Structure 1
Amino acid sequence: MQAMTAKELEYIADSMSNEDLLIKQCAVVVSTATTPALRNICSQMIATHQQHYDSLLHAISHHQSLAPTQPQ
């Protein structure tokens, strides 16, 4: 497996920011919604987006072990 390019790393960082924003938006709905069903759906969405975030974080962590230590 090859190390990721700078463009790929930027894409992952942007995706992580998007997932974080979605988590925060869903958390606001969970805390303000009056409908239990809506709170449950948003809680599930938080879990899904957290899994996405964690997967992206894992990809970056894995990249560190493959990346060269000196610029090429």
Structure 2
Amino acid sequence: MQQSTQMQPLTRKELDYIADSISNEDLLIKQLAATAGTTQDSNVRQICMQNLQSHSNHLNTLTQLIQQHQQYAPTQPQ
């Protein structure tokens, strides 16, 4: 028997968690960019840039997740 792999709509709680995570990643990216732009220490700058890339990837993944589930979002409030 073959199981259906159809996506289910995300719950309001799940959507809120993802939205909070997106906000957190965005804030971290801004803080890392500011630190990298103002530090005189090249090692700190390099670490900031590496972490900035990592958090940018997280942000992109979360954004793609929301977009993939958009078509499954309920049309009426839950």
TM > 0.5 between the two? Answer: yes
Give the partner amino acid of 2:57.
Q
Unaligned runs of 5+ in 1: none
What amino acid sits opposite 1:41 in the alignment? I
- The runs of at least 4 consecutive aligned structure 1 residues that moved more than 3 Å come to none
Q: Distance in 2 between matches of 1:58 and 1:3?
A: 15
Following superposition of structure 1 onto structure 2, how do residues 1-72 of structure 1 map, counting pairs within 5 Å? 1-68=7-74, 70-71=75-76
Normalised TM-score (structure 1): 0.91
Which has the larger helix fraction? 1
- Compute the RMSD of aligned alpha carbons: 1.1
Q: Distance between the aligned counterparts of 2:57 and 2:37, measured in 1? A: 21
The alignment covers a number of residue pairs equal to 71
List gaps (5 residues or longer) in structure 2: 1-6
For residues 54 and 67 of structure 2, what CA distance do their matches in structure 1 show?
Answer: 20
- Give me the whole-angstrom Cα distance separating, in 2, the residues matched to 1:42 and 1:27: 7
Larger radius of gyration: 2
1:9-56 CA distances to partner (integer Å, 9 max, x unpaired)? 010000000000000000111011111111010001100000000000
